[in-house]
Amino acid sequence: MVVPALFDERVLAPAREAFGRLHATAQRLRATQDHAGARFVLADRGGDVVVQRVVWAGGAEPALLDIGADPRLVGPALQLLGSDRCEQLLCQAHFKMPGDGVSFDWHQDVQHRDKGPGTWRDVNGRGSYVQTLLAIDEMRADNGPLQFLPRDAVRLDARGRLRDAHYDYGTPMGDGDAAVDARRAETVTGPAGSVIFFGPYAVHGSTPNRSSTPRRVLINGYACPGANGRVYPGAGSGRTLPAVAG
Ligand SMILES: O=C(O)CCC(=O)C(=O)O
């Protein structure tokens, strides 16, 4: 589900400042580490440090946690989960700066939630997880927008999962092992402030940013209570929403 321009500049301007500070901090840290309540996942390639992601970014930048608790995200997420409460597992900043080459191969988010016995349970029978992706910058065809594959363009196992984890872009679905038909990909573009909501079995990915301006997104992810059995990095991760008064 895509909601164009769900957030306006009152939220986006401070979010961009927060992203700017996270990016500057990453340049000083240079190597992957936990810092100030967040986990910086970094690649030092000589010049600018490439920020692969900042996990629980709101731990370091509380304005991003406020966005994660915003009813415009949490309300639809609860509706999709069929629950009146959820656990927020992700508040993650993705940077795709011009020329940094960051891309995400075809995958399903269940791969990141279910890490083996005791880590994940589908308590609502519909995936028990909703990922939301807020465009901090406009998403255009040239800056590495999200792409999704329709169900009939992917081969899933009986549990609804891709037969193998990651596929490279351009992998055609053939008679061999290939499980995705990348030619069928649907690209999501839209103005800054737009939000994509999707479930843990949606097959998606994104190519590198080939433009001259950043493409940043804030990812907030919500699980049904009782689904998750892991401790996620970051100060306060896994909080229950909506917050209980008092
Ligand atoms: O930032 C991106 O382009 C990829 C996001 C993604 O793969 C995800 O939300 O699971």
CA–centroid distance, residue 132 to ligand 1 (Å): 10
> Does 235 map to a domain?
no
Q: Is the dihedral of CA 144, 168, 232, 23 positive or negative?
A: negative
Q: Ligand 1, atom 3: nearest CA belongs to which residue?
A: 206
Q: Which two tokens stand for residue 219?
A: 């990812």
> Does 138 map to a domain?
yes
CA of 112, closest atom in ligand 1:
10
> Does 7 map to a domain?
yes
Domain boundaries, position 131: 2-228
> Does 43 map to a domain?
yes
- Quick one: pLDDT at residue 171? 61
- Number of domains observed in the structure of the chain: 1
CA–centroid distance, residue 137 to ligand 1 (Å): 14
> Does 208 map to a domain?
yes
Asked whether 23 and 50 are in contact (CB, 8 A), the reply is no
Residue 82 clears pLDDT 60, i.e. is over it: yes
> How does pLDDT run across 172-193, given as a tens digit for each residue?
555 455 678 888 999 999 999 9
CA–centroid distance, residue 158 to ligand 1 (Å): 24
CATH number at residue 83: 2.60.120.620
Q: Ligand 1, atom 1: nearest CA belongs to which residue?
A: 94
> Does 135 map to a domain?
yes
> Does 112 map to a domain?
yes
Mean pLDDT score, 230-235: 97
> Does 78 map to a domain?
yes
Residues with CB under 6 A from ligand 1: 94, 104, 109, 131, 133, 146, 204, 206, 217, 219
